[in-house]
Structure 1
Amino acid sequence: MTSHNLPAEPNRFVGRARDVDELRGLLRDQRLVTLCGVGGIGKTRLALRVAGSVVGEFPDGVWLVELGRITSPDLVAHEIATVLGVREERSRPALDGLRVRLRGARALLLLDNCEQVVERCAELVAELLAGCPDLRILLTTREALRIPGELVWRVPPLDLPDARHPDAEAVLLFTDRAMAAGTRLAAGDFDDVARLCVALDGLPLALELAAARTRMLSPAQIADRIGDRFRLLTTGDRTAPARQRTLLATVEWSHDLLTAKERVLLRRLSVFAGHFDLDLVEQVCADERLLPREEVLDLLGGLVDKSLLLADGGRYRLLETIKEFAGRLLRKEDEHGWFRDRHLQVVCEMEERCFEAGLAAPRASWQERRRYFVRSRNLVDDCRVAVDWAVESGNALLGLRLAYVASAMLAVHGEIAEGVDWFERLLLLDLTGVPPEVVALCKGALAYGMEARDDLAGCERVVAEALKEQEKVPHSLGKGVTLNVAGVLLLRTGQFDRAERHFDEVVATTRQHDDTFNRVIAQSCLAVLAGVKGQLRLAQRHAGEALAVAKENGHPWHVAMATSQLAAVAEWRGDTEAAVTHYRAAAAIFDELDNRVEMERCLVMVAKVAIARGDHVTARSLLAECLALAQSTGQRLGMARVLRVLSRLADVEDDVQGSVLASAAAVALAEEMGEPVASGRIEQVLARARDRLGEGRTALQWSRGRELDPVEIARLILDGRREQGPLPVPAVAEVPHPVLTAREQEIAGLLTRGLSNRAIADELVISPATVARHIANIMEKLGFTSRSQIALWAVEHNLGSA
């Protein structure tokens, strides 16, 4: 009968099936396997599970030696000997007795919690392995032994939930332990459970302590309070060692094992947002007094070895629990403000170098630029916390400098919204002492962001301020951006002649100052204007010049933008083959740059060309991809583009209902953005619908298209659900129209045209708020719940005309 002293599992083992299988395999091939990880990660429980699963493979026993309570190195051999029943003799060291006991034995030793006596453990393990060739040893420790033959296996946190894996290991563990605590979770709790699991980094001990709290608090309440996790998570297993009964005790146990300088570095690392590298740590955390720069690398290695810092390919990360603990220590030492200031300064200087070399340089190859974009991308999380600190500390100058360069680098990837938020918060600070040119450039960058996210009214206001403030500022890349934004605003609001004069001026100015960045944009916009006017040769010339300048500049973003403009010109000329080739080439570059906004724009145009060619299968596939991209970016303009092309697809596939719904949804989005609507195409759609569906049903579908979720409408068309019949007509009560006032009847009639509150207000010369009150009154009087019901009722009572 096989011998072992493994304890019975106290509760159900959850998850880690892959880990158990991998470790079982390693124990067959490796003589020494060390499980390393931060306190609370589940090293002991995993090791016990693995050891229990291989008992049958070790005829001479599987033996657990618990070293967590041992503080003197001299007692380690004694503890192992006691477990194995080796009797110590006064004239012979315990190690000799252990060699005799284990020589020739096919046994597994599980040495648990070795970190506080790690050096003595290393010596003993090396001696035992050398003298006992059939022995296998499995250890758990926060710091590896670092001896020959050791295989270090770092225990990962439990898998975290996401959209594809809502039942991840962390969720299963929390749910299981909550049930053990007498709590039965409801279906509505699981979003909060997922939020909690992510906040706790999938750390098993933290999850178990949180689950114990469900006796008193809901998952939502626990998640809301998790910022104070060390006070909240204090109810542990009474039979566990004291260091494992609360989260704070577990982390403090790890911290107490550090050297003085490792403790200094750990607390300073708390200023970083997420992943960081050696260069950033050396610039932010080092000083001449406590932490010389030349020692930082070795100290980082020490924190990794002690499992308080995660390392991955030259980048490092603190678990949130460790980060919060370290941040408390930084505040306790009164270093928080100084190092947050230092972090802001260093991150700003790094981003400015990335901006100058990666974006602003007038001529450089992509190979030369690329590493700066990668560096900037890696700094995004730190930019966020640095801007937050600039706002909190009132450091407007550094905050604006950082926001300007960081938002420009993000914009190349199509990420606009965050920069807008940064500028809006920073520009509200006291700007005394901030050079006027910095304010002017930042307002221009804010206007760019507003235009890109379709806030045209806000853009018009801010760009006017920026232009006025930049009159006395020398030309720069930022000033060129402001000038281009002003031109794009004119273009998008239909002021074509003014826009053309503006872009001509920009081209002349950027030539004079060798600003290839903004010249590409201006020439591309001139190509658009020429195309709108039907001047296709001129459009081709401008687009060709834009591409030539883009290639000269060397940035692929410019090349992609100019290539997509060439595609548009080819489409206008009727050369669909060239259009598709150019659009796909541009989309591929945008994909490489991870610019999903522009990638979606190009692929939508390919889908439009595919529809014109009669290739509906390709169009449907592309539009499904574009829908996913538009959703992921959250941009209304992208969603409106998809819907407009889907309306065309529905039209040619004889889905009249879908065509109306998609067009209505696209118009609603355009009105929300303040975009002009191409009424000619809309009238064609509605005219065909009236012929097929009749006046009332067309009005109904138009109104419903404005009310329904645009994504649902897109999926309706993509899935071909029109075959299931038309959407159900909302119930309309038999209510005589005289129950409504004359104004209410008038507004009900206007709803048959699918007008927005703003459009109705403009037509009746009243305020949108008054329209909203009238519509609410109509719903109450008629017992309706939607505008589409009112529209259908109005058609049936001859109150309006589409």
Structure 2
Amino acid sequence: MDKSLVLAETSGRSQARYNCLETIREYALEKLEEAGETQHLRDVHLDVFLARAEEAAPKLNETYQQVWLNWLEGEHDNLRAALAWALDSGRIEAGLRIATALVRFWEIRGYIREGLTWFERFLARADERIPLPVHANALTFASFMAMFLSDALAATTFGQKAVDLAESVDDDHDPILILALSGLSSSARIKGDFQTAFTIGERGIDLLRDSPGPAYFLGMALLAQGSVAIELGYFDYARTTLNESLAIAREAGDAFRIAHALNSLGDLARCELNYEAARIAYEESVRLLREVNALHDLASVLQNLGHTYLHLGNIERAHALFRESMETHLAFQNGTGKAECLVGFAAIAIVQGLPGAGVRLLGASATVGGQRVAAASVWHATRMEYEQTLSAAQKSLSEAEFQAEQAAGSGMTLEQAVNFAMNLPLQPATAPATGAASAGLTTREREVARLIGQGRSNGEIAIELVLSKRTVETHVSNILSKLALTSRSQVMRWAIDHGLSQTLA
């Protein structure tokens, strides 16, 4: 194969996949175009991958979902090419059907934003020629994708359009309407209108119980309803509903759905202060999400498990979980996830005797891009952790100190806050016995130490002090030497302990 015009790709595959060299591929495409066969070939390619995507879709709810997820991952570029051709050639129905078939794959493997973009592009060109079931279901799944991204406006818009279209069938038990109601309920939930979500969810569940359709949809509706019940404080109802959803998922062997039911049961246990029960539920959820490589969702469960371990007194384990969660949120560029994860780091800072750092992180987590995040989360357990951490911090600081640190946190960018959190020392470093003034630092070195204490990077410090990055690196080296410290996190702790990290007026 070394001298062949064909390349064999075997990495991560049980069977080899053969590709042409790019120059050969381009030449072949030119010849196809000259022969007038390009459109026919692309149509055949689209038809093949439409059939394969729809074949795979129901398998994603069963025991061997991992096999099909991996197959879809391997064929993702082919599926993208099929979607692109469907759009370019005006085959909107085929594109919507592929997108609908890929929803679970996109959700589990973290391609949610890409999936929503495909839906938006196809739905913008959908008209009365699209069969009602295809159109309404696509609108519903677009609503779900928007809900996963916390886009309340888009979720509501798509959800309402789906219901309006489905109700034109004039059959309350039509499966299209039942699914559309689930989308509308989810959009109400993401807006924080839990009572509306609960009412719509009840109607949907009643219809599903009378429906001969797959148990999968009832299980998903029960899962969503259980989560809404937690937000409304209906804990007994939530337990019954979530356990029924879990039983349906276990019977199907759907690891992803089992993991989500367990995560919600963990949230319920945490809200009831039953941290050992929460730990057991979250641990199994984490294991299953790792198995199906659902990293986007894993990040949130790791965060939940971190809070649980902190309540159980295992600070080191909690810290490791928050770090892994944050690293995963960073990989997926999940701004809301990063902001909510800061609450965990804030709680650890306060437990470690750094209430000022904790309040600063809470201030940073509360508002991101002008939007309230952790303090106004749609999740009861997240709000509870935020409020408990805030209360603990207020007991450790004077009002003036509290306001100063909160203002400093609110002034941070999300990137600065994440850097500050990730560099906080787990164990308190031994602080010099002498005061800051007698530590031997020059005025400029004290300025650099102050900015390190605020979680600034060397590049940000260079801009702030109008210095070169190399000069800042020299100052950092001198600070470490003079303070007999070995890491940046120790400098941060030293600056915090000596009051240097506060933002200057």
Please say whether Structure 1 and Structure 2 have the same fold, judged by a TM-score greater than 0.5: yes
Matched ranges for 1:392-541 at <5 A: 392-429=88-125, 431-473=127-169, 480-513=178-211, 514-541=213-240
Q: Is the alpha carbon distance of 1:601 and 1:639 closer, same or farther for their aligned partners in structure 2, counting shifts above 3 Å?
A: same
Counterpart of 1:378 in structure 2 is: 74
TM-score by length of 2: 0.76
Q: Is the alpha carbon distance of 1:391 and 1:623 closer, same or farther for their aligned partners in structure 2, counting shifts above 3 Å?
A: same
Query: Which amino acid in the other structure matches residue 410 of structure 2?
Result: S
Query: Which amino acid in the other structure matches residue 336 of structure 2?
Result: L
Q: Which is worse superposed, 486-495 or 386-395?
A: 486-495
1:453, 1:532 → 2: CA distance? 19
Counterpart of 2:424 in structure 1 is: 717
Query: Which amino acid in the other structure matches residue 18 of structure 2?
Result: Y
Q: Does 1:576 align with 2:293?
A: no
Contact 2:140–2:179 (Cα < 8 Å) also in 1: yes
Contact 1:607–1:618 (Cα < 8 Å) also in 2: yes
Contact 1:664–1:706 (Cα < 8 Å) also in 2: no
1:604-625, CA deviations, whole angstroms, 9 ceiling, x for partnerless residues? 1111011112211101111111
Contact 1:656–1:688 (Cα < 8 Å) also in 2: no
Counterpart of 2:333 in structure 1 is: 634
1:50-81, CA deviations, whole angstroms, 9 ceiling, x for partnerless residues? xxxxxxxxxxxxxxxxxxxxxxxxxxxxxxxx
1:564, 1:686 → 2: CA distance? 28
Counterpart of 2:398 in structure 1 is: 691
Query: Which amino acid in the other structure matches residue 714 of structure 1?
Result: A
Alignment RMSD (CA, Å): 3.2
Q: Does 1:659 align with 2:376?
A: no
Shift in Å, 1:710 = 4.2
Query: Which amino acid in the other structure matches residue 684 of structure 1?
Result: S
Counterpart of 2:316 in structure 1 is: 617
Query: Which amino acid in the other structure matches residue 694 of structure 1?
Result: E
1:485, 1:615 → 2: CA distance? 39
Contact 2:156–2:188 (Cα < 8 Å) also in 1: no
Shift in Å, 1:695 = 6.0
Contact 2:60–2:104 (Cα < 8 Å) also in 1: no
Counterpart of 2:446 in structure 1 is: none
Shift in Å, 1:457 = 1.6
1:493, 1:428 → 2: CA distance? 24
Query: Which amino acid in the other structure matches residue 262 of structure 2?
Result: T
| % identity of equivalent residues | 20
Q: Is the alpha carbon distance of 1:511 and 1:425 closer, same or farther for their aligned partners in structure 2, counting shifts above 3 Å?
A: same
Query: Which amino acid in the other structure matches residue 651 of structure 1?
Result: I
Matched ranges for 1:58-97 at <5 A: none
Q: Does 1:327 align with 2:54?
A: no
Counterpart of 1:75 in structure 2 is: none
1:544, 1:635 → 2: CA distance? 29
Q: Does 1:337 align with 2:39?
A: yes
Matched ranges for 1:290-301 at <5 A: none
Shift in Å, 1:590 = 1.0
Shift in Å, 1:533 = 4.0
Query: Which amino acid in the other structure matches residue 77 of structure 2?
Result: D
1:608, 1:532 → 2: CA distance? 18
Counterpart of 2:483 in structure 1 is: none
Q: Is the alpha carbon distance of 1:358 and 1:479 closer, same or farther for their aligned partners in structure 2, counting shifts above 3 Å?
A: farther
1:478, 1:608 → 2: CA distance? 39
Counterpart of 1:244 in structure 2 is: none
Q: Does 1:727 align with 2:426?
A: no
Shift in Å, 1:445 = 1.1
1:654, 1:617 → 2: CA distance? 15
Counterpart of 1:317 in structure 2 is: 19
Shift in Å, 1:349 = 1.2
Q: Is the alpha carbon distance of 1:496 and 1:695 closer, same or farther for their aligned partners in structure 2, counting shifts above 3 Å?
A: closer
1:425, 1:611 → 2: CA distance? 44
1:273-315, CA deviations, whole angstroms, 9 ceiling, x for partnerless residues? xxxxxxxxxxxxxxxxxxxxxxxxxxxxxxxxx3424253242
Contact 2:189–2:197 (Cα < 8 Å) also in 1: yes
2:391, 2:187 → 1: CA distance? 28
- Within the candidate set 346, 366, 371, 2:63 is matched to 366
Shift in Å, 1:565 = 1.9
Contact 1:447–1:482 (Cα < 8 Å) also in 2: no
TM-score by length of 1: 0.49
3-state DSSP of counterpart to 1:634 = coil
1:775-800, CA deviations, whole angstroms, 9 ceiling, x for partnerless residues? xxxxxxxxxxxxxxxx978xx6xxxx
Q: Is the alpha carbon distance of 1:687 and 1:311 closer, same or farther for their aligned partners in structure 2, counting shifts above 3 Å?
A: closer
Count of residues in Structure 1 that have an aligned counterpart in Structure 2: 428
1:630, 1:432 → 2: CA distance? 40
Shift in Å, 1:515 = 3.6
Which structure is higher in helix share? 2
Query: Which amino acid in the other structure matches residue 56 of structure 2?
Result: C
1:423-444, CA deviations, whole angstroms, 9 ceiling, x for partnerless residues? 1111222635212332211111
1:566, 1:326 → 2: CA distance? 55
- Within the candidate set 311, 324, 349, 2:51 is matched to 349
